[in-house]
Amino acid sequence: MFLPIPKLRRAIFRFFTAALVLAILSVLALPPAMAAEASTVRVKDGHIQEYVNGSLRRSYGSDIVDVSTDGEIVAAVTKQGHIQEYANGSLHRSYGSDVVRVRVSGGSVFADLKNGHTIEYVNGSRRRTF
């Protein structure tokens, strides 16, 4: 059951080489969630301006009064009081009415209404009102 020295050295070399290659590949292939990009949005002249790491990436939308993001979803309120969701600068869906302010957290969109109520939306569908 004892391996000769050359075969043992070869087996040890292959093991450590494979471990080193896997370690290098795991460092190079970081998932997107681990990439450190700070994403912020703001409204300027009725348009959404999206910043990544402090640099302007894109500008989109029109007649926007309020905007919020969680890094993935960008939700905006129009002058007409509707919510518009954007993905990569493109309009994804539009819903709601009489909305004054919007907040995004963990994939949920919270809309403050004119009458003081708050509605939670998930994937464009109303989840609850409080």
Question: What is the dotted CATH code of the domain comprising 39-129?
Answer: 2.40.128.630
Report d(CA 76, CA 78) in Å as an integer: 7
| Residue range 21-50, pLDDT digits in tens | 666 766 666 555 445 688 899 999 999 999
Say what the pLDDT of residue 22 is.
64
Q: Is the pTM of this model over 0.75?
A: no
Say what the pLDDT of residue 9 is.
74
| Residue range 77-105, pLDDT digits in tens | 999 999 999 998 999 999 999 999 999 99
Say what the pLDDT of residue 50 is.
95
Identify which has the larger pLDDT, 126 or 2: 126
Q: How many CB atoms lie within 10 A of CB 20?
A: 10
- Tell me if 82 sits within 8 A of 108, measured CB to CB: no
Residues in the chain: 130
